[in-house]
Structure 1
Amino acid sequence: MKRSAPLQSQVAVVEAPSARKSPIQERSKARVERILEAAAELIARSGSDLLKMSEVAASAGISIGSLYQYFPEKAALIRMLAERINAASRECIRDGLKDVTDLASLQSSFAALVDVYYAIVNERPVMRDIWSGMQVDRQLLTLQLAESRVCGQMLADAMFKVHKVRARADIRRVEQTALLIWEMGEATIRLAIAVDAAEGAALVEGYKRMALREISDPLQ
């Protein structure tokens, strides 16, 4: 769901295994794109748990040795796919919250963001499988948590525009509430796309009602 108010805290990201070889030349960049496209297609077809590096190499039309030059292991490949999704999500959030000036605009902007995010995940179910792959790797799970903190902080910053919060304890409470809202939102979306469309839409609407109550009065 990556123009907005500056983040009020910096998030340390623990590094997961990353690509060994920087794709400087255009041919190398094109090869990395083929690898990522092949991996995404295979994940969409069979899930991240069953993803095999040999199949990625074959689908991308390269040798397994060439694949390992760019991605030393599956976690590195999933990480790069996740980072691309995260970058697009952060931009979507910044754009969605940039015009928040009062409670009404915050409520409408947040509700619209949830709808947009749900639509995107429905269109790209591979995102769900990439999330699943991150859950079983501690370093990738740390990356996901760091991303949730960044997104939650962007929501908190928007809430600070609307609510007069000065006490340090209240600031921390708003930040924690925003993080919980964000984490619950991602969990809701994952659940919503796992059930039939009607139930999924109802779950998303239910989440929005709960989240908007907290956003409207985070210090209640």
Structure 2
Amino acid sequence: MQDYSNGNAGLLLRRVPKQERSRERIDEILKVSMELIGQKGIDAVTMKEIAALSGGPIASVYQYFPNKSAIIAMLHERYVDDVRLTVAGYTSMIASADEALDVAEKLFDFYYVRMREKPATQDLINAIQADKTLAERDINEIRFQSELLFENTKQFVLEPLKDSYRNTLFLMFNMAAATLRLALMVPAEEAGKIVAQFKSVVRVQASYYFTGRYPEASA
């Protein structure tokens, strides 16, 4: 059961639940909201529909969420918590430059598979990016994730290149999001080529920071 008493969750809610029944009500509202986003897209979802399908009056939704943006923000918060755990898990055990290169690809694959399996997640992220206030939260989260990778791989980077490496990681994380959106919009065969090309670009660029030179092109 989600703890709503601490952290950002308490700031996003109009009223912080103290009883298990109230926490279960919020969980159901969020679950239904995510399902509707996947079925209809974010713009078509209404607070009234969320209330009806989550088994309560609309007042019980507004009791916790002042508007749909607050629901979107809370869904994003949950997504962020899950992704942070994954990124931290992948990056914390890196012991060599080669492993760092592999982890970069594994992280991209993780995002790609997740989006393929849960397309509503992409709709959620699009909705976040369309809202100026929420978009800033998403950028900050991308920066946080890129910093995690930086802190766990900077020991493999040549000293004069570390600042550039940090900036490139932030750029690559943002480019990864754009690449994912494109890959999810085209046929599967083309998507596979796009994904492979992006991972190749990342590997080549990262190799430069670890060795001071770009790898030679294969014949």
TM over 0.5, yes or no?
A: yes
> For structure 1, which runs of at least 5 residues remain unmatched after alignment?
1-13
Larger Rg: 2
Q: SS where residue 89 of structure 2 aligns?
A: helix
Q: Corresponding residue for 2:36? A: 42
Displacement of 1:164 in angstroms is 3.2
Q: Corresponding residue for 2:206? A: 215
If the length of structure 1 is used for normalisation, what is the TM-score? 0.87
Displacement of 1:63 in angstroms is 1.2
Deviations 1:95-118 (A, max 9, x none): 111221211111112212211221
Paired letter, 2:204: R
Displacement of 1:159 in angstroms is 2.9
Q: Are 2:99 and 1:105 aligned?
A: yes
> For structure 2, which runs of at least 5 residues remain unmatched after alignment?
1-7, 214-219
Correspondence for 1:51 among 42, 45, 48: 45
Cα contact 1:35–1:60 (8 A) shared by 2: yes
Correspondence for 1:198 among 183, 186, 189: 189
Paired letter, 1:28: S
Cα contact 1:159–1:215 (8 A) shared by 2: no
Displacement of 1:50 in angstroms is 1.7
Q: Corresponding residue for 1:9? A: none
Paired letter, 1:172: D
Aligned length: 203
Deviations 1:39-75 (A, max 9, x none): 0011001111222111111111111111011110111
Q: Corresponding residue for 1:10? A: none
CA distance in 1, matches of 2:45, 2:205: 39
Q: Corresponding residue for 1:83? A: 77
Paired letter, 1:189: L
Instruction: Tell me which stretches of 4 or more aligned residues in structure 1 moved more than 4 Å.
Output: none
Residues 151-160 or 42-51, more deviating? 151-160
Paired letter, 2:128: M
Q: Are 2:183 and 1:189 aligned?
A: no
Greater per-residue helix proportion? 2
Paired letter, 1:41: E
Displacement of 1:18 in angstroms is 1.6
Residues 93-102 or 35-44, more deviating? 93-102
Q: Are 2:16 and 1:25 aligned?
A: no
Q: Percent identity between the aligned chains?
A: 30
